[in-house]
Structure 1
Amino acid sequence: MSDISQQLREQILQARAGATKLDIRGGASKRFMGREPQGEALEVGRHRGIVSYEPVELVLTARAGTPLEEIVAALDEQGQMLSFEPPCFGGNATLGGTLACNQSGPGRPWGGSVRDQVLGIRLINGLGEELRFGGQVMKNVAGYDVSRLQAGAMGTLGLITEVSLKVLPKPGETLTLVTETSMAEAVRLMNERAGQPKPLSAACWHDGRLYLRLSGARSAVDATVRQWGGELLENDVAFWRELRDQRLGFFDGDAPLWRFSLRSSAEPLPLEGDWLIDWGGAQRWYRGDADRARLDALAAEAGGQVSLFRGGDRSGEVMPAQAPALRLIQQRLKRAFDPDGLFNPGRLYSWM
């Protein structure tokens, strides 16, 4: 364990005095996300360690630079888990970076997102002030929930130093059913299955195969297997881990990787190329060269939005466009937390 919060605070104060921009870095596992990083390195990876873990209370608190694999190992000893299944990206992903980039894995529609599980955070703002938001219990709050505002902000609203999370028990049994089917039929089946009172915990389609994961009590899982049918996937834990960490063959390649967030029941989009559908139809990955304006229009028609997740030209905007009102709110939040614009300038949007 290592607490370097004071060193981080001093570097922020020095950067402010010298008008130096700061590039926040944890495990560097998500450097490919967002626009090109700028500024002097603010290394958070050494600020690590589990601060407290109460298995009975289902709450864990850890410093932002703590590797996810360390947290997962501690939870595994107690038969518990992070329900949002965050990608570990080869073991380099950290807790702070996972929250900042709003990363969740295959179980997100059923287990919730990282944003849903955050109870509280500690944060150093652009004035060098150490702040605390939320706590270690679930409760209603009035006004902005600053802890959850950090999800997807990519470090632009301050330096996260500590995160408290809700954790959950592992299910009693997990099995995966595989069926050969078309993309359109897979989307229909995903939505049909998701609407049934069954222990569905993940649903993915790629390369002509639909994968449905069942997790829960043994009796419920076994009954659903008999009712739904399909081939049982051997070593399914490895498959979902590879999908979670984006290490399936689909994620290799030089062509740009686009992430669509759509209405789960939307028809397949008319784009030639390789597709992978996750989150029961709500998250769709597309690999190929395409005109951004056309992709935006197709996403809007399907009730969602699209971002350039990896590769391609990252000098322009890569995140979904924001409505003027939302853009104004984000800019005001940025000025409130980081008045001098020190943290990750332009990483999320050029205007932040």
Structure 2
Amino acid sequence: MQSIEQFQQRVRAAAADKTPLRIRGGGTKDWYGQRLEGEILDTRGHAGIVDYEPTELVITARCGTPLAEIEAVLAERNQMLAFEPPHFGAQATLGGAIAAGLAGPRRAYSGGVRDFVLGARLLDGKGDVLSFGGQVMKNVAGYDVSRMLAGSLGTLGLLLEVSVKVLPRPFAETTLCLELPEIDAIRRLNEWGGQPLPIAGSCWHKGVLSLRLSGAQAAVDAAVRLIGGERMPNPENFWEALREQRLPFFGGADAMWRLSLPSTTEAIVLGGRMGETQLIEWGGAQRWLRTDLDAATIRRTVAASGGHATLFRGGDRSVGVFQPLAPAVARIHERLKQAFDPAHIFNPGRMY
């Protein structure tokens, strides 16, 4: 196992020489973000489950631990990572999943990555090991640092170890399919979202709404009678393909945009045959768009509805992968970067 001391030596040398380091696990999300820069700092040698208490619903593991290994151990105890992190490849690691901050179909109903991070050990840009969490420790500025690392893309430091809350697998699960136009699907998703229904995933594309129901058998059966529709055969394959973006929709040469919107937002019209170039998840709050439209038009339209747009795959990254930050928020990002990585050696330019 690669030791923390080896990491510290590498980081301190890089800080002294102002040499950028590119933190990398399995590399399955190298395409995500602005650009890749620096010498690779491979985390896969720092692997292994440190502690797992099924009765406490908590697992602690090192950053280079394969995500598949974590999920296999949890499955033996009929538990799961409720935020359903996408792998995008067999070599995906736990550290990479937390750093990317990406979640799957269950996210809108169970919570996102940062909602399940309880604690973390971080190697900062000075080569010091910092511990956060456990008792929900916060730094003097009031930030919950362990959760703040989720989605930071390794720009604040090397995530050495993380403690994550897990949940029991649902006792019963089924998926319903209903033929609905986009506007009706959005309306119904919001109506159902305000009711005590065991919804655990939703996907609308090309006039078909797929709805996953998870929970106690009686609750699932009652929801099926209320909602109607046809049961999907082999739904596990569908939701995994959606999570891993293996559905035909995610192919093609056009840029893939991820739109984050209030779930009640009506149909976003950006030209073309939107029913074919758009896929809606998370009860209407996440919408995927395949298009060759310019970034300014997309972001202006989405912002008018109270949302933001991310250039997820492909396209011209010079327009900025992530939504430009407001000046006040940008200053907070700069101060955090300076506090954790004063020499700016970790994943420079990966986010902004």
TM-score by length of 2: 0.96
SS in structure 2 at match of 1:91: coil
**Partner residue of 1:11?**
10
2:338 is matched with which residue? Answer: 335
Compute the displacement of 1:138 (Å): 6.4
The alignment covers a number of residue pairs equal to: 347
Q: Does 2:174 correspond to 1:178?
A: no
| Equivalent residues of 1:36, 1:315 under 8 A apart | no
Whether 2:36 is the aligned partner of 1:33: answer no
The alpha-carbon deviation at position 140 of structure 1 amounts to 8.8
- After superposition, residues 253-268 of structure 1 pair within 5 angstroms as 253-268=252-267
CA contact (8 A) 1:206 1:275 kept: yes
Alignment of 1:41-60 (within 5 A): 41-60=40-59
Q: Alpha-carbon deviation of 1:43?
A: 0.7
The one-letter amino acid of 2:323's match is P
Q: Is the 8 A contact 2:175 2:212 kept in 1?
A: yes
Q: Deviations over 1:261-288 (max 9, x none)?
A: 0010101111225111011100000011
- For 2:324 and 2:223, how far apart are their aligned partners in 1? 41
In 2, Cα distance between the equivalents of 1:16 and 1:227?
A: 60
**One-letter amino acid matched to 1:15:** A
Alignment of structure 1 residues 262-277 onto 2, 5 Å: 262-271=261-270, 272=272, 273=274, 274-277=277-280
Over the matched positions of the two proteins, sequence identity in percent amounts to: 52
User: Aligned letter for 2:240?
Assistant: R
Provide Cα deviations, 1:164-190, integer angstroms capped at 9, x if missing partner.
Answer: 001011110000000111112111111
Partner in structure 1 of residue 283 of structure 2: 280
- How many Å separate the matches in 2 of 1:242 and 1:138? 35
Cα distance between partner residues in 2 of 1:315 and 1:39: 19
Alpha-carbon deviations, 1:88-128, whole Å to 9, x = none?
21322211111111111001011111100000001000001
SS at match of 2:297: helix
- For residue 5 of structure 1, report the CA deviation from its aligned partner: 2.2
Q: Does 1:151 align with 2:150?
A: yes
8 Å contact from structure 1 (residues 35, 316) kept in 2: no
Which stretches in structure 2 are left out of the alignment for 5+ residues? none
What is aligned with 1:310?
313
- One-letter amino acid of the structure 2 residue matched with residue 285 of structure 1: W
Q: Which moved more, 1:137-146 or 1:31-40?
A: 137-146
Question: Contact 1:106–1:203 at 8 Å: present in 2 too?
Answer: yes
- Whether the aligned pair in 1 keeps the contact of 2:138 and 2:145 (CA below 8 Å) is no
The partner residue of 1:299 within 280, 298, 302 is 302
Q: Is the 8 A contact 1:176 1:232 kept in 2?
A: yes
2:167, 2:341 → 1: CA distance?
34
Alignment partners' CA distance in 2, 1:316 and 1:261: 18
Match of 2:108 in 1: 109
3-state SS of the aligned residue for 1:160?
strand
Give SS of 1:61's match. Answer: strand
Within 5 Å, which residues of 2 pair with 1:113-128?
113-128=112-127
Cα displacement (A) at 1:139: 8.2
User: Offset at 1:245?
Assistant: 1.0
Residues 125 and 340 of structure 2 are in contact (CA less than 8 Å); yes or no, is this contact kept in structure 1? yes
What is the alpha-carbon distance in structure 1 between the residues aligned to residue 196 and residue 151 of structure 2? Answer: 31
Indicate the RMSD between aligned Cα atoms, in angstroms. 1.4
Q: Could you tell me which amino acid in structure 2 is paired with residue 130 of structure 1?
A: V
Q: Which residue of 2 aligns with 1:238?
A: 237
Q: Does 1:323 align with 2:326?
A: yes
Aligned mates of 1:156, 1:141 — CA distance in 2: 18
Aligned to 2:60: 61
Provide the rounded CA distance (Å) in 2 between the counterparts of 1:141 and 1:126: 17
**How far apart in 2 are the matches of 1:244 and 1:127?**
37
Other-structure match for 2:224:
225
Q: Quickly say closer, same or farther: Cα 1:316–1:15, change in 2 above 3 A.
A: farther
Unaligned runs of 5+ in 1: none
TM-superposed deviation, 1:86: 0.7
Give the letter aligned to residue 324 of structure 2.
A
Please state how far the C-alpha of 1:233 moved relative to its aligned partner: 0.4
Moved over 3 A (4+): 137-142
TM superposition shift of 1:48: 1.1
**TM-score normalised by length of structure 1:** 0.96
Q: Distance in 1 between matches of 2:127 and 2:102?
A: 27
Distance 2:137 2:347 in 1: 31
Deviates more, 1:169-178 or 1:140-149: 140-149
User: 2:345 corresponds to which letter in structure 1?
Assistant: L
Cα distance in 1 between the residues matched to 2:229 and 2:38: 52
